[in-house]
Amino acid sequence: MPDALVTGASGFLGGALARGLVERGATVRVLARPTSDLRRLSDAEVEVVTGDLGDEASLARALDGVEVLYHCAGRVTDWAPWKEFFEANVAGVERLLRAAERTPSLQRVLHVSSTDVFGYPRVVPEAPEPDEATRIPYPRSKALGERVVQAFVGRSGMPTTIVRPASIYGPGSVTLVRDVVQALRAGDMVHIRQGRAPAGLLYIDHAVEAIVEAATRPAAVGRAYTLRDEAPTTWRTYMEALAEGVGVPAPRLSLPEPVALGAGWAMEQAHRLLRRPERPLLTRHAVLLLSRPQDFPIAPAKADLGFRTRVTFEQGIRRSLEWVRATP
């Protein structure tokens, strides 16, 4: 029987976590749709159960005999209908955890949330709390998903931990590496507020290490941890490093936040009116991510999980660019 079940293993974080667990000697099972691209796991010894968060029978099969559940699956984007966010990040969590309650072998649950649940405050509070009232769909769905997790803990008493990674980057990152590089090459990238907001970057290896520790350390039971790299990095620094690495000019245009939010709102409305399936060039979610500080406190993760930055920003950028060059 497998030690662990990883959901979302076809994604950037879930795939890296599954590989990391195998490298640490765990027997790993993953839950994947029939259409999922699992090439990133092609050389990792994992058992695949076909199914998804909407198929309760597949959830029972995937959890059978498992001791630790790592829930990484979800709808992660800045542009999708609310019903898709709710189905994946709220209702899907509810179905998975109901199945977990019926799994006698299960000993621990690790739920991956996001710092986006805090709703992009203008000033980072000392003890931020999820903002269920935010009007931005993705963070609202993740905040509601955390409420589902807390209800599960109250019902079952299952030892559970929540981690809230900030902006995860590194080799294999489509959103924060490949897509940004493509936008830089096309000249489509702009700064918001001069790109001076702390970016809250988290290198992928650090995310995996923290998640594994959070799922195994007794001190982490019942806690929620924000995760980001220790060294402060702005979005301007990040964009300039990627631009230099691929030999293109860094963004020169900068928009004030109110102007960018207005433009994002207008583009969103136009896409809805015209029923265009692709994401707008700019969304309010993206504007807030790039304009508001993401340097959330990580002292609890350092104290309880031994969280440390082992890969420097420069090393992370270099490895990310090596992946871009090697990927068709």
pLDDT of amino acid 49: 93
pLDDT bin (cut points 50, 70, 90) of residue 87 is very high
Q: Work out the average pLDDT over 150-173.
A: 98
Q: Work out the average pLDDT over 93-122.
A: 97
For residues 257 and 284, what is the distance between their CA atoms, to the nearest angstrom? 10
In this structure, are residues 205 and 146 in contact, taking their beta carbons and an 8 Å threshold? Answer: no
In this structure, are residues 191 and 288 in contact, taking their beta carbons and an 8 Å threshold? Answer: no
Q: Work out the average pLDDT over 45-74.
A: 95
pLDDT bin (cut points 50, 70, 90) of residue 50 is very high
Residues 313-324: tens digit of each pLDDT: 999 999 999 999
Q: Work out the average pLDDT over 301-305.
A: 98
Q: Which residues contact 323 (CB under 8 A, 6 or more apart)?
A: 170, 171, 172, 177
pLDDT of amino acid 258: 97
Residues 174-214: tens digit of each pLDDT: 999 999 999 999 999 999 999 999 999 999 999 999 999 99
Q: Work out the average pLDDT over 139-161.
A: 98
- Reply yes or no on whether the pLDDT at 28 is more than 70: yes
Q: Work out the average pLDDT over 237-256.
A: 97
Angle, helix 284-291 to helix 137-156, in steps of 10 degrees: 80
pLDDT of amino acid 38: 83
pLDDT of amino acid 1: 61
For residues 73 and 23, what is the distance between their CA atoms, to the nearest angstrom? 21
pLDDT bin (cut points 50, 70, 90) of residue 93 is very high
For all residues of the chain together, what is the average pLDDT?
95
Structure tokens at 225: 């941890």
For residues 307 and 209, what is the distance between their CA atoms, to the nearest angstrom? 8
- Reply yes or no on whether the pLDDT at 56 is more than 80: yes
Domains, the chain, ordered by start:
4-170+199-230+295-311 (3.40.50.720)
